[in-house]
Structure 1
């Protein structure tokens, strides 16, 4: 798994959008026993914290210590630094395992073998994510040009899985057809820029060119943002499965 997010861990915790409570509640509705949950590649612990309201114990892992240092704390959340593909957990330990906005970074074959090892036979596995947001048409033109043309060449190859709405990733489970969700916000211009700053492609561009690509659209985007409604919508991605087809992993 790549660590693309340690550098901007504080920004990540401040500007990355949360998943709505109704989406978390929907996932949990498929879980019979709410004893132990695991949030892999937890980042700043957003999902782990939401799960902690429902489960006796929540474990959460990430390969970035800086992300974990900025994670949301709760008495029943146990954070640890380790890879999602090789964990320290016991066989058949978890009633629910989730991975949010990160599965595209994993070695799928190795990762799924580990999931089948640590997930209970009646457990639930869920992949969450969000695609490219959309907003008012005027700002969208600027942002899509930025996404595809300016920083487009600087996205990791794995980004394609998000652009494909996670529809083409391997998923060796008995899949539960999932309800569609989206997340809506009203963002200040500072929030918008803060979120763009967390993109891995922006960080790669800065590393390669020693220049922030956001500067190339900043003035035009600011004018556009201030004269429009500043509403942002994220299409949310969700796949849910049961380990009945474990022989396919």
Structure 2
């Protein structure tokens, strides 16, 4: 599993989109017991904080100690620096395993083996993510598309393709459960948007190679606009699975 987000972990915690009550309800209907949840690849706790009110205890793991240090302190949450294949949990102890905007970085086979080991027979795995940001303003959306598909072409890690393919091409050897179509909708300022783009792994690779930011066209656009807040949305990627009978 790659660690691309330890550097500037505070910005990541501040700039990345949050999750939602709708996402939680779509997941929780498949998790009848609420004793223990394992949030794998938890980063700075964007999903962990949503799990906390519903479970007696939550384990948040990530390979980045810097990211975990940015997670909000919650009394029923334990943070542990660990890879996706090493939760440290007992067999059949977890009611829910989650991976939010993270599974595309995992060794699928090793992670799924750990999921099968730690899940209770009626527990479930929820894989959550969000796709490419979409702006309501056509000109802004065109600039975002140009940044993503043209300027940063060749700078994205190969794993990013799983996001572009809406997580539909990841291996998923579980009994798939029905989930609704969801999106995350916000109104963000220009600075919020620029901060978010600065967390992109492809942009980080670009800056490392060229020693300059590729955000100048967006900065020029924002400087010429009187708009205080921009309507944006992210398509939600969500797959929920139960253990197959042979895995129980």
TM-score category of the 2 structures, normalised to the smaller one: over 0.9
Q: Is the 8 A contact 1:139 1:224 kept in 2?
A: no
Normalising by structure 1, report the TM-score: 0.95
Shift of 1:121: 1.2
Distance 2:228 2:246 in 1: 50
Gap regions ≥5 residues in structure 1: none
1:112-166 deviation line (CA, Å, top 9, x unaligned): 1111011111101100000001111111111100001111211000000000000
For 1:84, the equivalent position in structure 2 comes to 84
Q: Is the 8 A contact 1:186 1:232 kept in 2?
A: yes
Aligned pair 1:53/2:53, yes or no?
yes
Distance 1:112 1:120 in 2: 14
Q: Is the 8 A contact 1:9 1:70 kept in 2?
A: yes
Report which stretch shifted further, 127-136 or 205-214. Answer: 205-214
Q: Is the 8 A contact 1:121 1:244 kept in 2?
A: no
Q: CA RMSD in A?
A: 1.6
Q: Is the 8 A contact 2:197 2:203 kept in 1?
A: yes
Distance 1:199 1:178 in 2: 27
Q: Is the 8 A contact 1:129 1:238 kept in 2?
A: yes
Normalising by structure 2, report the TM-score: 0.95
Shift of 1:25: 2.0
Aligned pair 1:202/2:206, yes or no?
no
Q: 1:120-199 counterparts in 2 under 5 A?
A: 120-135=120-135, 136-199=137-200
For 2:239, the equivalent position in structure 1 comes to 239
Gap regions ≥5 residues in structure 2: none
Distance 1:45 1:24 in 2: 14
Q: Cα distance 1:91–1:189, how it changes in 2: closer, same or farther (>3 A)? A: same
Pairs aligned (count)? 247
SS of the equivalent of 2:59 reads strand
